[in-house]
Amino acid sequence: MIVLRRPTLWDILFRVRGSIIGSIAPRLAAMLLIASAAVLLAARTPAILTQLGAIPFTLIGLALSIFMSFRNNACYDRWWEGRKLWGQLIIEVRTFARQTAHLAPEIRTPLLMGLVGFSHGLAARLRGKPEAAAILPWFDGKDWADQPNPTDAALRSVGRTCSRLVQDGHISDIRYSVLEQPLTGLAQVQAGCERIKATPLPYAYSLLLHRTAYTFCLLLPFALAQSLGWWTPLVVLVVCYTFFGLDALGDEMEDPFGQETNDLPLDALVRTVERELLAAVGRTDLPPPLLPKDAVLL
């Protein structure tokens, strides 16, 4: 995730990392060549493009921009919901740590380390990494590889430990019901993240937008070539940068849990959980917080 609060003039003119231009540069180069070819065609055989005016493209461009804004709003909602879910995860973890503060260290430590393992497992699950390997260090070597959902299995393990605490008389039934609330909240967080990950925007919706945008950008140079001459490539480049950039940015935000520069910083959020729970059990050898590299926080 980009952590710059406001782009400077230098960023506007020269920054590539963190912007969308890196992923759309080949398309922009292709459109620049097509626009140059359109200008040459208009100069050599002007009669071919006589009846192709710019007015229809004005109407199509307006409709396309509105259509694209709806898609980008939907993608941003997914990104923001993902961030709220991970914020809720941190709240539930802190609540559980506070509610177990009265327990003896030998009882409390496995519970909190289990939540660290859950956080690592959820991040790995959302990013397509091995869940069991991410959870393994936090459960005293217990292997979750045979589970269909290792992250949920880790959370269930913490819940079963709380249930045994009731049976052994370490906590009351009321205290157990209190501890179950943040665990239920964590299960809801996982389900919400899985819903976003497993439910992309409708394919036909995205396909229609891509086709319309590409058709518009491919035909636009031929409509402008006669009137603008060699200014056509510049105008086309600006228009295509806007449309292709919004399209690519929507693709990135549609899956907010990836590792692209505009995705959510799951590694940093998991490190926050890890540091706080290790400190809660009295550990002083805390891992350092993750810091941005070149203004990008992963």
Q: pLDDT tens digit string along 190-219?
A: 999 999 999 888 888 788 888 888 888 888
Q: For the ranges 11-20, 96-105, 178-187, 260-269, which has the lowest average pLDDT?
A: 11-20
CA 288 from centre of chain: 23
Q: Does 208 fall in a domain?
A: no
- The pLDDT of 8-19, averaged and rounded, is 65
Q: Does 190 fall in a domain?
A: yes
* Helix (H/G/I), strand (E/B), else coil: 143: coil
How many CA atoms within 13 Å lie on the side-chain side of 59? 3
Q: Does 289 fall in a domain?
A: no
- The pLDDT of 222-234, averaged and rounded, is 84
| Backbone φ/ψ region at 149: left (φ over 0), alpha (ψ -120 to 50), beta | beta
Euclidean distance between CA atoms 187 and 17, whole angstroms: 35
Q: Does 110 fall in a domain?
A: yes
Residue 152 has pLDDT above 80, yes or no: yes
- Percent of the chain's residues with pLDDT above 70: 90
**Are the CB atoms for 270 and 297 separated by under 8 Å?**
no
DSSP string, 192-215: HHHHHHH-PSPHHHHHHHHHHHHH
**Are the CB atoms for 6 and 250 separated by under 8 Å?**
no
- The pLDDT of 170-199, averaged and rounded, is 93
Token pair 């031929």 in the structure block, residue: 222
Q: Does 51 fall in a domain?
A: yes
Euclidean distance between CA atoms 14 and 104, whole angstroms: 56
Euclidean distance between CA atoms 276 and 89, whole angstroms: 13
Residue 121 has pLDDT above 90, yes or no: yes
- The pLDDT of 175-188, averaged and rounded, is 94
User: What tokens were used for 5?
Assistant: 């609060």
- Axis crossing angle, helix 55-99 with helix 173-198, rounded to the nearest 10: 160
- pLDDT confidence of residue 183: 95
Residue 228 has pLDDT above 70, yes or no: yes
Structural domain span for residue 84: 21-202+230-280
Output the average pLDDT for the chain.
86
- The pLDDT of 216-237, averaged and rounded, is 85
Q: Does 291 fall in a domain?
A: no
Euclidean distance between CA atoms 54 and 58, whole angstroms: 6
- pLDDT confidence of residue 4: 67
Euclidean distance between CA atoms 146 and 169, whole angstroms: 32
Q: How confident is the model at residue 9 (pLDDT cuts 50, 70, 90)?
A: low
Euclidean distance between CA atoms 204 and 48, whole angstroms: 34
For 38, 55, 229, the CA distances from 46, given in Å and listed in that order, are: 10, 18, 11
- pLDDT confidence of residue 243: 84
Domain count, the chain: 1
Residue with the larger pLDDT of the pair 24 and 295:
24
Q: Does 2 fall in a domain?
A: no
Q: How confident is the model at residue 291 (pLDDT cuts 50, 70, 90)?
A: confident
**Are the CB atoms for 237 and 220 separated by under 8 Å?**
no
- pLDDT confidence of residue 12: 62
- At 69-108, the pLDDT tens digits run 788 888 899 999 999 999 999 999 999 999 999 899 999 9
DSSP string, 229-263: GGGHHHHHHHHHHHHHHHHHHHHHHHSTTSSSTTS
Residue 138 has pLDDT above 70, yes or no: yes
* Helix (H/G/I), strand (E/B), else coil: 177: helix
Q: Does 258 fall in a domain?
A: yes
